[in-house]
Amino acid sequence: MDILPCPDCGSRVFPESCYCANGHPLAYDPAARALVPARGPLCANRDSLGCSWTAAEPGALCLSCATTTVVPDLSAPGATELYAATEAAKRWVFDGLMRLGWFASETPELPEFHLMSEKIEGRRQVVMMGHADGLITLNIMEADPATAIRRKQEFDEPIRSMIGHVRHEVAHFLHDRLGREAPGFLPAFRQLMGDEQADYGEALESYYRNGPVPGWQETHISEYAAAHPHEDWAETAAHALHLEDLARSAGELGLSLDGGSLLDRAQMAGLGLNHMCRALGQPDPYPMVISPAVRQKLDFALGWLDRRPS
């Protein structure tokens, strides 16, 4: 994530902030990648959800918030805060993808989001997160820190966050777009990750019944990535976006990192994070071991996801 100057006083500000440290009201223009005075059209979710982005016209939603067409039930205590955290994760992911050249046209093709809550006043409902033909369903309870920790342990996922969920599901959407728009993507993808046309239902049923294939650590970024080529892409692409953002954020902080490539620098940033957290007796925030085969897949994913002119 970039750290940008306040247009009024020059102090450095995170783009998700609505005010700088000196109290100047700000807004973030994602197309210009700049902070602007909060005098133009602002996202209609600014006051209710803390959205810092600009909008196309007064009373409208920003590019990110407008992709949510179903909002969660807010009757349960704390639901509004989880809704706001989910929208913040979406903005973070969209901003990173726009930095890589996605959604740059005046009428960008964007996914649609249904934000649901499994916890409703007086009862619970089952929320299946996933992607289908451009529609992404998210469970806002995953933005709850206690829920995330519990499910991280339950599913043995060392990195589990709402930003991760958004990146994973948006990666499915981007796979569909690359398959339609980028000549050469699908043949190269199938050679590296397998045929995505293989029966998805059968593959997931086998995965949940038998577990991942033995030795998955050598070839896949996660257990779930081994379930089907679609999940291999989504897990790998999401992790590549994690690493790209990690390296970018470290650079914004002025940290000097060894490594010839962005992914090399990102891994060094991850090691540095682990070292600092161990000094405080905290768990490693980046507990990943990347094999040569997985590194090849990460390079592949980031190469196709980066749409900036070379």
What does the alpha-carbon distance between residue 231 and residue 219 come to, in Å, rounded to a whole number? 13
Label the pairing between strands 130-132 and 135-139.
Answer: antiparallel
pLDDT for 24: 97
pLDDT for 192: 98
pLDDT for 140: 96
- Contact between 11 and 20 under an 8 Å Cβ cutoff? The reply is yes
pLDDT for 60: 98
Per-residue pLDDT of 92-111, as tens digits, reads: 999 999 999 999 888 899 99
pLDDT for 40: 87
pLDDT for 288: 86
pLDDT averaged per 10 residues in sequence order, the chain, 310 residues? 92 94 96 94 98 97 98 92 98 96 91 93 85 96 91 85 97 98 96 96 95 93 96 97 92 83 90 93 89 97 93
Phi (first) and psi of residue 276, to 5 degrees: -70, -40
pLDDT for 233: 98
Per-residue pLDDT of 201-254, as tens digits, reads: 999 999 999 999 899 999 999 999 999 999 999 999 999 999 999 998 988 888
pLDDT for 289: 83
